[in-house]
Amino acid sequence: MTNTDLKALELLFQRPLEPVFTTRDQGKTVLELPDSFYTDRYRNDADDVSNRFSQNVELKIPIQELARKPNLDFAKKLTLKNQFSLFNSNHQEIAGKLIQLFLDAPNLKQFVSLAAFTKDRLNPVLFQYAYAVAIAHREDTREVPITNISQVFPGNFVEPSALKDARQEASVIADTGNRVHVDIPRNYTASDREDEQRLAYFREDIGVNSHHWHWHLVYPASGPVAVVNKDRRGELFYYMHHQILARYNTERFCNNLKRVQPLSNLRGEIPEGYFPKILSSVNNRTYPSRISNQLLRDVDRPDASIEIAEVERWRDRVLASIDQGFVENSSGQRIPLDEVTGIDILGNLIEASSTLSVNSQYYGNLHNQGHTIISFAHDPDFRHLEEFGVMGDVTTAMRDPVFYRWHTFVDNIFNKFKTLLSPYNASQLGFDGISVDYIEAKLGASNAQANTLLTYWQKSSADLAAGLDFGPSADGNIFASFTHLQNAPFTYTFNVTNNGAKRTGTCRIFICPKVDERNQPLRLEEQRLLAIEMDKFTCELLPGENTIRRESSDSSVAIPFERSFRPIGAAYQPKGADELARFRFCGCGWPQHLLLPKGKPQGMLFDLFVMISDYSQDAVQQPTNTPNDACSTAYSFCGLKDKLYPDKRTMGFPFDRRLPNPSLAELTGAFSNMAKTDLKIVFSDRVVDKA
């Protein structure tokens, strides 16, 4: 791939609402379009506008004529100003066709042309989504980084008055270096009269929401089979969202709130209101709000229609199938829900993936349509001409308290299935001759106390320039500062004795809350559902004593801050192909700054748990000729690009199923390859500037 091709592809992520012929890359570059690419609005003035925007640029990239202009009628239902929802079946279908169109482009130049041609003719969010999926899946775009969604559509992530200040700063102060950072306020969605507001720092975190978008980008529910049918994607849908809930519930205990109540009754009022205040750049309106105690209703709108009774029917069918131990496919064949593949089948059928569900007609589209009903609660029959609320959009859904209620309902269905399986037995849990003798987690300072970790607020900044449409043309960087939870880096140390020959193990680290919000001790059966995966990695065990050390920053669930908020533009990109691929795929991953729950000012106790399992039972044989690891950092949540999920055990092992002992202490007492210790997390309520 030439640098120019790379540049052209990258520029199409910038200024998503501006016509494709305007300057990009801080006013330095312009795409030179064939005349036939101009939309009707500009066709008569094509020479004028192209001359105007090509003055003073450093680089003009000529765009090839298309061999054949695509027919875009399939996308007509979604106008340029509609909101695009991945939970909406019509929108999913449109996106699937567009992705296929992009994948079918015969070569890189034609793909660039196709993208440039379609960009101004399609809904901008639909375009950005399908474009990013295509780049992630085309062979010839392996080296192209996908710009983080928070930078393409900053309005979906930050309080909008900050964007106004950012534009103003950019138009008044020409020298990028002299611009002040625009401050994004904290806690702007509600006052402390609303208890749920205590969790706003988690729900409205930019890294959390961009991870969620990235996950759904890497694992689309529908579209070309080659893109959708990834190894264990249904199981990962369950597991990634289950882990989000474990983290959210634990975070609630830290803030003296009880666990999330499932939204099991779709006929009752929803006490939690939510007023997002963020602005959709597509139509320049704020996302609609939901008042407290809103009742859900059947949705009957031109863009979506679904009855609550239908969702209830699907729920009952899924639950009945779990009780029976099998599902039925569309030709009436019974497929057993066994302990290995059952969860994957259920994940695809409950989400639902229309491409992979064993029987879409019968089991329906439970989780997605729940999002739809909730997202239209404020205007179910379109009488007020309002679009969906934040629950309709994967970039914004996690901001809303009801997201966790709906997902708890969904998660409970999966947990019900898992609970029906027999408890793990000794041969599954044990690792003969391996004993974990000592474990600790410790901060870097030499005088630090073992097993006391620290959280605090940090002020960081991100460059939002790429997504600010219609700003000054030579705008340069626009930095916005925001405050988020952070944890001080720490190191795990484990002493392990191996009484046999040299072996390999998988080290699995979790933390579990010990008590609930009322200080009541949690039983193991409760703890296992709240167990937070911290890390997972293979370790070599030599005969005799071994000391294993692992940095918190190497976690297999998280990605570093810099990867969530990487600067945009060629100057910042890594040069090597491998590094670039990592740069791209690895936008998926839990934000490192939320790796630890907040804890409490006086300290909050957790169980730090480690298990070393037998790698010979965990190993996955990857198919030959798969490319080098594009990204192995957040594989627990995101898998590996173009590879099998790298752990043969069911996700969440050993906490995904019932355990043979009543308490964690008895479990670790019974199995020498496990150990636990008390871990204290101390929260310090101060804001530290990022160095």
Cis peptide upstream of residue 570 (ω within 30 degrees of 0)? no
Chain residues 549-578 in contact with ligand CUO, contact rule CB under 6 A: none
Least CB distance from residue 399 to ligand CUO, whole Å? 12
For position 247 contacting ligand CUO by CB under 6 A, the verdict is no
Pick the closer one to ligand CUO by CB: 321 or 368: 368
Q: Which pair of structure tokens corresponds to residue 44?
A: 């008569």
Interface with ligand CUO: number of residues (CB under 6 A):
8
Judged by CB under 6 A, which of 212, 233, 598, 643 binds ligand CUO? Answer: 212
Decide the pairing of beta strands 304-306 and 299-301: antiparallel
Alpha helices in 173-300 (DSSP H): 200-203, 206-218, 225-228, 233-254
Is the separation of the CB atoms in 31 and 61 below 8 Å? yes
Task: Report the residue number whose CB is nearest to ligand CUO.
Answer: 397
The SS3 call for residue 306 is strand
Pick the closer one to ligand CUO by CB: 259 or 399: 399
Nearest-angstrom CA–CA distance, 292 and 271: 5
DSSP letters for 471-489: S-TT----EEEEEEEEE--
Is the separation of the CB atoms in 561 and 591 below 8 Å? yes
Least CB distance from residue 36 to ligand CUO, whole Å? 40
Burial class (CB in 10 A: 0-12, 13-18, 19+), 459: middle
E strands along 281-341, which residues?
A: 285-286, 294-295, 299-301, 304-306, 326-328, 334-336
Chain residues 403-462 in contact with ligand CUO, contact rule CB under 6 A: 407
CA-closest candidate to residue 549, choices 422, 651, 659, 442: 442
Largest pairwise CA distance in the chain: 81
Nearest-angstrom CA–CA distance, 307 and 602: 48
Least CB distance from residue 244 to ligand CUO, whole Å? 8
Site string for ligand CUO, 153-192 (x = CB under 6 A): ----------------------------------------
Nearest-angstrom CA–CA distance, 137 and 307: 35
Site string for ligand CUO, 321-360 (x = CB under 6 A): ----------------------------------------
Pick the closer one to ligand CUO by CB: 394 or 595: 394
Least CB distance from residue 684 to ligand CUO, whole Å? 32
Is the separation of the CB atoms in 562 and 523 below 8 Å? no
Share in percent of the chain as helix, strand, coil (round to 5):
40, 20, 40
Pick the closer one to ligand CUO by CB: 353 or 487: 353
How many CB atoms are closer than 10 A to CB 558? 26
CA-closest candidate to residue 278, choices 200, 216, 179, 173: 200
- Residue 246 identity: A
Least CB distance from residue 353 to ligand CUO, whole Å? 11
Decide the pairing of beta strands 294-295 and 269-270: antiparallel
Pick the closer one to ligand CUO by CB: 310 or 526: 310
Q: Which is the catalytic residue, given 159, 251, 351, 533? A: 351
For position 397 contacting ligand CUO by CB under 6 A, the verdict is yes
Is 65 an active-site residue? no
Site string for ligand CUO, 85-104 (x = CB under 6 A): --------------------
How many CB atoms are closer than 10 A to CB 653? 21
Pick the closer one to ligand CUO by CB: 212 or 503: 212
Pick the closer one to ligand CUO by CB: 236 or 394: 394
Residues of 100-122 as b/e, b for ≥16 C-beta within 10 angstroms?
ebbbebeebbbbbbbbbbbbbeb
Least CB distance from residue 26 to ligand CUO, whole Å? 34
274 DSSP 8-state letter? B
Least CB distance from residue 411 to ligand CUO, whole Å? 10
Pick the closer one to ligand CUO by CB: 15 or 212: 212
Least CB distance from residue 316 to ligand CUO, whole Å? 20
Judged by CB under 6 A, which of 252, 371, 536, 649 binds ligand CUO? Answer: 371
How many CB atoms are closer than 10 A to CB 689? 10
Pick the closer one to ligand CUO by CB: 126 or 366: 366
For position 142 contacting ligand CUO by CB under 6 A, the verdict is no
Least CB distance from residue 407 to ligand CUO, whole Å? 6
Pick the closer one to ligand CUO by CB: 212 or 582: 212
Least CB distance from residue 372 to ligand CUO, whole Å? 11
Is the separation of the CB atoms in 652 and 344 below 8 Å? no
CA-closest candidate to residue 95, choices 220, 273, 182: 220
Q: Which residues bind ligand CUO (CB under 6 A)?
A: 212, 216, 241, 367, 371, 394, 397, 407
Catalytic positions, please? 351
